[in-house]
Amino acid sequence: MADSWVNSAERIGADLHLELSGPGGRRAALIRALREAVRSGRLAPGTRLPPYRSLAADLGVARNTVADAYAELVAEGWLTARQGSGTRVAERAEPLGTHARVPKEAPPRARGPRHDLRQGTPDASSFPRAAWLTSYRRALQKAPNEAFGPGDPAGRIELREALTEYLARARGVRTEPGRIVICSGFAHALRLLFGAAAGAGAGAGPRPGAGPRSRPEAGPRPEAGAEALRGPLAVESYGLAFHRELLTAAGVRTVPLPLDEDGAQVEDLGKERAVLLTPAHQFPTGGPLHPARRAAVIDWARARGGVILEDDYDGQFRYDRKPVGAVQGLDPERVIHIGSVSKSLSPALRLGWMILPERYVDGVLAAKGEREAWASVLDQLTLADFVVSGSYDRHVRRMRQRYRSRRDRLVAALAAHAPHVEVTGIAAGLHAVLRLPPGSERSAVKAAIWQGLALDGLAEFRHPEAAMAAPDGLVVGYATPPEHAYGAALDALCAALPPA
């Protein structure tokens, strides 16, 4: 592999030894070498990198190899790209402990992406600080002394009662406090169900010595064990890579189900006995699970002794109609319903809930341990007050209006400036998928980076073994930019889209 000195002082400020070695081809080797140069401080923050052509010539690689490597490192946040000022080492890429080495008269530094259109987070400026504080005060005043002892891993009863009422009303969930386990969000729920290491999760059943807990609210156990979680898990062909990785790390094999406009093709379920779905709003492609398929997957679970994991990540945010109720309401003994406040309030709170069939409760509690180790009791009590006082409803209503208007503005901007680009999926959630002409996704993502945008292509979400067609698209999160910057973010997005 090439091993080259790039030594044009006026171009990059210092001699730089880039060693293109290791696995994965020249692009991967160049990415590694540049990352290492930034990490070690040999490329200081703000340093302008050579143009593609000169670095390509110096290293004896193709110009596109350099362009792709730069684009990748921009996307990762190591470099920044601005039209007119080239590609530079990002400000925040400064290695730890090297501040003293940066000269006082360092050149003006380029910033990271100007607009964050990655899916995922709500509008952080809309966190209801005042209402949350009111609930916190009230919760603290009302909390009995025992609340400050070691926490119950099931979660505070006040919160489980509040969620029982709220989820029945808002999501059609049928449960009781004894079947709810509070957790720190969806990712934590997966860890609890499948275990961070083989054998630790609920699928493995209660740990030796954990014993059954007494749960006065719970009814009789209709069926023992949670074997369905021990085999392969069917998942949708598009989903969050982070969740797939988490499952793989727990030793779970995921089997992709094809998707169409009616959601996951549940009729293709094979030998698996567990399936993970996003029925309200397929993540990220955006369709709801068709009513016939909702019924079919319940029939499948009943016939196979299987279980459905329902990820209700943004179920309250539907803009064209009243939200469709949770699949859990069709058969509470066949569905593990999982929700969190990550989309509705903030992912920083780390608060979520699992609504469990009776036979899973002991295993999940055993996986959690004897004491609450994740979700702060004060946060739980605050959320309970926030829900019971009506503040949660008010906040969700307000955010529904805001996100709906953002989605409308996105659709209007595309209709005006890129009518050939279709917004797919239902009017719901905090993101939309823009369907692009075949073969144009990679270049559109690069163009978006050049426009100062952070966003992902659809390919980022595809299961590596998915067998269905791979449509080109951009996943645009419209919730994150602050209100004042949203118009500019849309302008930049339209400028990045491929021509008709």
Residues 6+ apart with CB under 8 A from 500: 418, 419, 420
Side-chain-side CA neighbours of 173 within 13 Å: the count stands at 31
For ligand PLP, the closer CB: 34 or 387: 387
Contact flag: residue 363 with ligand PLP (CB under 6 A): no
Cβ closer to ligand PLP: 88 or 343?
343
Examine residue 352 and tell whether it contacts ligand PLP (CB under 6 A): yes
Q: Which residues lie closer than 8 Å to 367 by C-beta, 6 or more apart?
A: 192, 193, 195, 200, 201, 202, 204, 207
Q: Which residue has the tokens 């955010």?
A: 399
Of 427, 429, 440, 415, residue with least CA distance to 496: 440
**CA nearest neighbour of 327 among 285, 359, 357:** 357
Contact present, 324 and 280 (Cβ < 8 Å): yes
Q: Which is nearer to ligand PLP, 282 or 451 (CB)?
A: 282
Question: Is residue 186 involved in binding ligand PLP (CB under 6 A)?
Answer: yes
- Contact set for ligand PLP, span 27-46 (CB under 6 A): none
Instruction: Render the burial of 457-494: b for 16+ CB within 10 Å, e for the rest.
Output: bbebbbbeebeeeebbbbbbbbbbbeeeebeebbebbb
Does residue 480 interact with ligand PLP by CB under 6 A? no
Per-residue binding letters, 230-249, with ligand PLP (x by CB under 6 A): ----------x---------
* 344 lies in the site for ligand PLP, by CB under 6 A: no
- Look-up of token digits 């009781």: 176
Q: Does 185 bind ligand PLP (CB under 6 A)?
A: yes
Torsional class of 390: left (φ above 0), alpha (ψ -120 to 50), beta (otherwise): left
Please select the residue that binds ligand PLP; options are 52, 70, 132, 313, rule is CB under 6 A. 313
User: Smaller CB distance to ligand PLP: residue 78 or 317?
Assistant: 317
- Angstrom CA distances, 392 to 125, 339, 413, stand at 16, 14, 31
Give whichever of 340 and 380 is closer to ligand PLP, judged by the CB atom: 340
- Minimum CB distance to ligand PLP, residue 398 (Å): 19
66, 18 Cβ separation under 8 angstroms = no
Nearer to ligand PLP, 90 or 252 (CB): 252
Give which of 428, 425, 419 is closest to 478, Cα–Cα. 428
Peptide bond into 284 cis (omega under 30): yes
The only residue of 58, 123, 152, 311 in contact with ligand PLP, by rule CB under 6 A:
311
User: Does 187 help bind ligand PLP (rule: CB under 6 A)?
Assistant: yes
User: Stretches 82-90, 336-344, 375-383, 490-498: which one binds ligand PLP (CB under 6 A)?
Assistant: 336-344
Choice from 70, 132, 166, 283 touching ligand PLP (CB under 6 A): 283
Size of the site for ligand PLP (CB under 6 A): 14
Query: Closest CB to ligand PLP among 213 and 243?
Result: 243
Q: Which of 13, 77, 172, 347 binds ligand PLP (CB under 6 A)?
A: 347
- Contact residues for ligand PLP, defined by CB under 6 A: 120, 185-187, 240, 278, 283, 311, 313, 340, 342-343, 347, 352
